[in-house]
């Protein structure tokens, strides 16, 4: 793997898990420039965000499966239904807790919001001018950022 173009900044970013979403905009510009110039740090940031989003997706899928299991147990009512229902609800609760911890402890939700904004900006830029002019001013400001 290639070397970081600025090892001091690279170590700072690694300590923050390559998350610059919570810092001041003035400081953010320098780190964004570093990500643009340093392929190594940019790849690591993408890896960390991919892991974060994957953990949220996995916890969501796990919670859905436990809820499905609870519904199936409730529908068929086997002999030990009570304990199976308790186990299914406990699994759902644990999955929901894991989802919440990952969502709070990582910048994954912000990464998803940023990706949605980029997509909305891309769609907005491709709209015909007469449709763009019909959009409310506050929505236009949110989409374009200016």
Residue boundaries of the structural domains of the chain: 107-146
Reported as a single tens digit per residue, the pLDDT across 86-107 is 999 999 999 999 999 988 888 7
- Cα three-residue angle 51-55-61, rounded to 5 degrees: 140
Q: In this model, does residue 55 exceed pLDDT 60?
A: yes
Nearest to 112 by CA among 55, 39, 28: 55
Q: Is the pTM of this model over 0.95?
A: no
Which contiguous run of DSSP H or E holds residue 109? helix 108-126
Distance, CA of 61 to CA of 24 (rounded, Å)? 35
CB 9 within 8 A of CB 17: no
Residue carrying structure tokens 């173009």: 5
CB 4 within 8 A of CB 38: yes
Distance, CA of 43 to CA of 63 (rounded, Å)? 30
pLDDT value, residue 146: 62
């Amino acid at each position: 793997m290639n070397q970081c173009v600025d090892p001091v900044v690279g170590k700072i970013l690694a300590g923050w898990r390559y998350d610059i979403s919570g810092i001041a905009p003035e400081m953010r510009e320098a780190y964004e420039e570093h990500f643009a110039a340093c392929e190594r740090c940019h790849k690591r940031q993408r890896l960390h965000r991919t892991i974060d989003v994957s953990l949220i997706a996995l916890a969501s899928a796990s919670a859905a499966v436990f809820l499905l299991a609870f519904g199936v147990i409730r529908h068929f009512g086997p002999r030990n239904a009570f304990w199976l229902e308790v186990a299914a609800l406990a699994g759902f609760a644990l999955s929901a807790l894991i989802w919440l911890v990952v969502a709070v402890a990582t910048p994954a939700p912000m990464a998803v919001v940023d990706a949605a904004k980029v997509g909305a900006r891309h769609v907005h830029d491709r709209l015909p001018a007469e449709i763009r002019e019909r959009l409310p001013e506050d929505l236009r400001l949110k989409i374009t950022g200016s």
